[in-house]
Amino acid sequence: MLSAILQEVKRFREKIYGAIRYRRDATFEMIDALCSNVTAQSPIALSLNSHHRRGYASITDVLSEFHKGGETQSSDLLSGLMEEALHSRAGQPYFLCATDATPAPRAYSPTLADRTFVYQPNPTVPGNKPVTIGHKYISVCCLQSPADTWVLPLSVVRVPSAESDIDLGAKQLREVLAMLRQQAPDKPVVSCVDSAYSTPEYIHSIHGGAGTDNLLTITRLRSNRVLWQKASEKRSVYGNKRGHDRWYGARFSLKDERTWHPPDETHRISSTTKRGKGMLTVIQRWNNLLRRDKRGLPMHLYPFTLLRVVVTMPKMAGLLACWPMPCSLSPEMPFQKQLVLGKLISRALEKRLN
């Protein structure tokens, strides 16, 4: 057993070593020092690690020459790492990815280049704005299961101050999708994002190009969003036969239940918490909803499915949580594949209550 594990580790290290083109030994020693680091607070301090046999100058040489000759080395190294990491997820029916931005406060680093205002909660001082100065990083990670607390980072990029994190996140996801298609061309990819990414710019950027047929985007919606049903009548109600067919039908306002039409499907899931409390999860589904066209973006080409998840418990005030979530796939997708989202939310809430 131990021999097989050592052989697997050796094979993995040799593969990563072979993907490095410049300064292989120095780069690999820096990787070993980084993986075993417990005290270093800066890249140069890694040279003091026992696994690093070279001087501190080699750290600078490795970092400055890593992208020598373009992005070929980094792309080959990332492709090799992704191939090895995704091998453990070969039995899953789909890849589950998550994209989000993480702030890195650097308020006391005046010489650090390209600092900007980033989000940081500040509950200590009431009324204080939740901002600070620093950098922001966008990560695209591969999730394994609800019970697994580890995630696999597929892409981590700093957001320049002159660039939008929405645009950069869409670019990152497209690059990750291209690499995932190389590993498993026919396997679906489920992308989970926050409500900040439910904008027309992000949806059009992700689903407007080629190669996204097997992509399902799950995103939260803000409670004040206004959606639209597909038009049931093809032509204008005024009898004008010129122009294109009608795209939008009745209004669907998330904050006004009077505008909601009956859901296409409703599922109820009963469960029990670890403390023996009953919990009811109700999932409602509306098919073929639309967002309005915005700034020339044809949002009428991207119908989605809206899921409303309501978790209730006895002896508590009715509605605990409500997440309206659209999906970018057509309504022909089996509903059982989308129930996993409700189960994830139900388990997360159960863990929090316990």
Predicted pLDDT at 216: 87
User: For 60-114, how does the pLDDT look when each residue is reduced to its tens digit (9 = 90+)?
Assistant: 888 888 777 666 666 677 777 777 767 766 677 888 888 999 999 998 988 999 9
For residue 51, pLDDT beyond 50: yes
Supply φ then ψ for residue 149, to 5 degrees.
Answer: -90, -5
Mean pLDDT of 262-277: 86
User: For 198-251, how does the pLDDT look when each residue is reduced to its tens digit (9 = 90+)?
Assistant: 888 888 888 887 767 788 888 888 888 899 998 876 665 555 566 677 888 889
Mean pLDDT of 300-312: 87
Strands 95-105 vs 152-158: parallel, antiparallel or unpaired:
unpaired
Q: Which of 306, 197, 327 is nearest to 252 (CA)?
A: 306
CB atoms within 10 A of CB 30: 24
The fold for domain 92-219 equals Nucleotidyltransferase; domain 5 (3.30.420)
Name the band, by pLDDT with cuts 50, 70 and 90, for residue 259: very high
What distance lies between CA 153 and its chain's CA centroid? 10
Q: How far is CA 347 from CA 94, 96, 100, 110, 162, in A?
A: 20, 17, 21, 44, 39
Question: pTM of the full predicted structure?
Answer: 0.73
Let me know: does 221 contact 199? Beta carbons within 8 Å.
no
Q: Among 115-129, 131-145, 231-245, which stretch is predicted with the lowest mean pLDDT?
A: 231-245
Which run of H or of E encompasses 73?
A: helix 72-86
Let me know: does 323 contact 309? Beta carbons within 8 Å.
yes
Q: Domain residues of the chain, as ranges? A: 2-65, 92-219, 262-353
Tokens for 2? 């131990």
Cβ-in-10-Å burial (0-12, 13-18, 19+) of 180 comes to buried
- DSSP line for 85-150: HHGGGTTSSSEEEEEEEEEEE-TT-TTSTT-EEEE----SSTT--SEEEEEEEEEEEEE--TT---
pLDDT over 70 percentage in the chain: 81
> Directed axis angle between helix 24-35 and helix 2-19, to 10°?
130
